[in-house]
Structure 1
């Protein structure tokens, strides 16, 4: 069984609001051909936010869906420069009405939520307010309608540690204990704190067998490390990418609504090779490659690993020209509250565990496949791109760079 957990929190503090100049968000990929679908727009945002984070040398795994849904919820409450900066960064077409954007998120969220044998996806949103803060009724109603936001009051001013503990306890419950302490501190100046959680747990359609997992070498580009390497012979979607000097594989989950993809470059084992591969991609290119994948029987080798990533995305969003959101003077939340507020922090935490497990019936099928010989293989033993995609909408639930896996032991 594989589990993925992401939590994102936006912390708003006291400030003042005045209009300011608007700068368009720069385009970070030379070929931007995203179609009108929300899934494509979220994918392009994922590539943009990853592009401006290239200075990070290690693993980086985000939930583009989590980030964009929470920012879109904030869009409901902003005006002026703050509103236009958010819309520009989120890549929403100028011709798209706000109501269409929010309705699309409502529909996408409902399509992602799953509670079936072998597949569990839960999404929760909550807005914590300082006791007595005046939040406009229209904002509360729309946030509940489109994003399922539940609102709770906490006394940040007089009991910030108690507020922190209450939020951490809720996050821990929603993530099944995977993220027990999202917040280390909460400022007494906090007026509102918005949290989005995504919990994903899926069984492979064709699981790996624990008896075939063995220690193997993973080349990070700077050193060789030993990881437990899962292995199995299976029929999986595969595509050679000669233009990118890479190859791609998909590992579907039960039901084939979701799949995990790995894109492994063939060039020198360096971070630059991985970044060049990512720069090569856009939503249209990725869609085309995925549609061209064909089932191939091969030996598949994937590390049994855990990937943990936590960051304050404030500086990252500023590099996407979302600046007034964090400015005590220029931030405009006049459609959310009559109080003067600004965003203080954008905390994002992702935990991904990859193991062999699947259902008992699927395991029997995998045992049979292991008896068939083939010389073809796909091995994740070097830095690679990895993502989990909802296959009907193309929405990336998770997107990231795998540079150094953390061995996940029994």
Structure 2
């Protein structure tokens, strides 16, 4: 059967741990770290996809880690609400911290040609009486770098942005424009991914062809390859998996059979990500693949989207309880903004991607053979970590632009 998969949507960019087929099967015998996080990923992704026309890319892993850091300073109903959204029922903060630490630690021993770095930092207004215990928790559980700055100085934001640039290999140069008088703390997560394909595309085979966006047809460079690969079967859609040099990391692309990616996504849930991992257990199929090269950047404040997801109390200055951040246990902070930026480049050699999430704390008052796939219209893609089953990026590609 011949299939044509058309890319207009960057639906997923996730990171997947597949050290080997045997390692993958062994991992099925123990509870995967990231299973519940995938539900968080898909729910937030659908909220974003439902309101953002055009290309969209976000990192569920980065957002999750940044919010998990913030959760460590929460108390009472604020803590309960955040924990309920970030973790499965009956989970504890200690369990969540341990799972996050284990996931990040597992990225340290990737094979040559595949690199994934996760960095965290805590920036504190030098005039704010921060809890020493909270600082210790950030350093121990998240290996966060901590720094005290004069938030009234114009150089304070520059210091944070310089850290962001370094942590993302200069792919994201900044996350915050300036620090205002009511800001007391900024918690930042940064992720950088750089990997070569296990089977690179030949640049001599790259050809321009038509990509059908939701509004018009455009011509853009397509990479082409004929090889055996795992097919992804999902309701009313189909896709492929492409391994990086460390096969733990896998890129995937999924395209709906008909209609728009946005409409199709609204009928999906976390089982869509499960289907990506399930595909690795199936025999490979010979595929004639055409995939566009692309480079994309995306940024969006996520406060309203997280409130739509159900995380409302932390953003309410009258109800938020982040007493764990204050040295005397005062309830004087709330989440003012959650800022998010991403970057991705996909070409013949491999993939580079980066994400930054900043949680800004404000004071409450002034206070088969013949199979063919041509991704020439909206499609879903990603990178998955099959060992921890964690989603690192999710996005939508409406209009590919060559690197």
**Structure 2 CA distance for aligned equivalents of residues 62 and 381 of structure 1:** 22
Aligned to 1:84: 80
* CA RMSD between the two structures: 2.4
Aligned to 1:305: 294
Aligned to 1:165: 158
Range 390-399 or range 195-204, more displaced: 390-399
**Structure 2 CA distance for aligned equivalents of residues 293 and 354 of structure 1:** 25
The aligned runs of 1:338-349 (5 Å cut-off) are 338=329, 340-349=332-341
Q: Give 1:195 deviation, angstroms.
A: 0.8
Residue from 247, 262, 267 that aligns with 2:253: 262
Aligned to 1:136: 131
Residues 43 and 269 of structure 2 are in contact (CA less than 8 Å); yes or no, is this contact kept in structure 1? no
**Structure 1 CA distance for aligned equivalents of residues 323 and 129 of structure 2:** 11
TM-score (norm 1): 0.81
Aligned to 2:179: 186
Residue from 274, 299, 317 that aligns with 2:264: 274
Relative to structure 1, the CA distance from residue 36 to residue 330 in structure 2 (aligned partners, 3 Å threshold; closer, same or farther) is farther
3-state SS, counterpart of residue 406 of structure 1:
coil
**Structure 2 CA distance for aligned equivalents of residues 251 and 5 of structure 1:** 12
Range 383-392 or range 397-406, more displaced: 397-406
Aligned to 1:71: 67
3-state SS, counterpart of residue 323 of structure 2:
coil
Residues 83 and 93 of structure 2 are in contact (CA less than 8 Å); yes or no, is this contact kept in structure 1? no
Q: Give 1:285 deviation, angstroms.
A: 4.4
3-state SS, counterpart of residue 200 of structure 1:
strand
Q: Give 1:291 deviation, angstroms.
A: 4.4
Relative to structure 1, the CA distance from residue 85 to residue 281 in structure 2 (aligned partners, 3 Å threshold; closer, same or farther) is closer
Residue from 89, 94, 98 that aligns with 1:99: 94
**Residues 1:350 and 2:342 are matched in the alignment:** yes
3-state SS, counterpart of residue 229 of structure 1:
strand
**Unmatched 5+ stretches in structure 2:** 1-11, 15-29, 352-368
The aligned runs of 1:182-221 (5 Å cut-off) are 182-221=175-214
- Structure 1 segments of 4+ aligned residues over 4 angstroms from their partners: none
Aligned to 1:293: 282
**Structure 2 CA distance for aligned equivalents of residues 83 and 55 of structure 1:** 28
Relative to structure 1, the CA distance from residue 385 to residue 287 in structure 2 (aligned partners, 3 Å threshold; closer, same or farther) is closer
C-alpha distance after superposition, 1:210-264 (max 9, x if no partner): 11111111111221122111111122111344xx121120011112010011111
How many equivalent residue pairs? 357
Residue from 305, 310, 319 that aligns with 1:330: 319
Relative to structure 1, the CA distance from residue 288 to residue 129 in structure 2 (aligned partners, 3 Å threshold; closer, same or farther) is closer
C-alpha distance after superposition, 1:114-159 (max 9, x if no partner): 56421111110000000032221222222211111111011112x1
**Structure 2 CA distance for aligned equivalents of residues 357 and 111 of structure 1:** 24
3-state SS, counterpart of residue 407 of structure 1:
coil
**Residues 1:404 and 2:399 are matched in the alignment:** yes
Larger relative contact order, structure 1 or 2 (CA cutoff 8 Å, min sep 6): 2
Q: Give 1:348 deviation, angstroms.
A: 0.7
**Structure 2 CA distance for aligned equivalents of residues 393 and 253 of structure 1:** 17
Range 306-315 or range 132-141, more displaced: 132-141
Residues 206 and 358 of structure 1 are in contact (CA less than 8 Å); yes or no, is this contact kept in structure 2? no
Residues 5 and 175 of structure 1 are in contact (CA less than 8 Å); yes or no, is this contact kept in structure 2? no
Residues 156 and 189 of structure 1 are in contact (CA less than 8 Å); yes or no, is this contact kept in structure 2? no
Residues 64 and 396 of structure 1 are in contact (CA less than 8 Å); yes or no, is this contact kept in structure 2? yes
Q: Give 1:281 deviation, angstroms.
A: 4.6
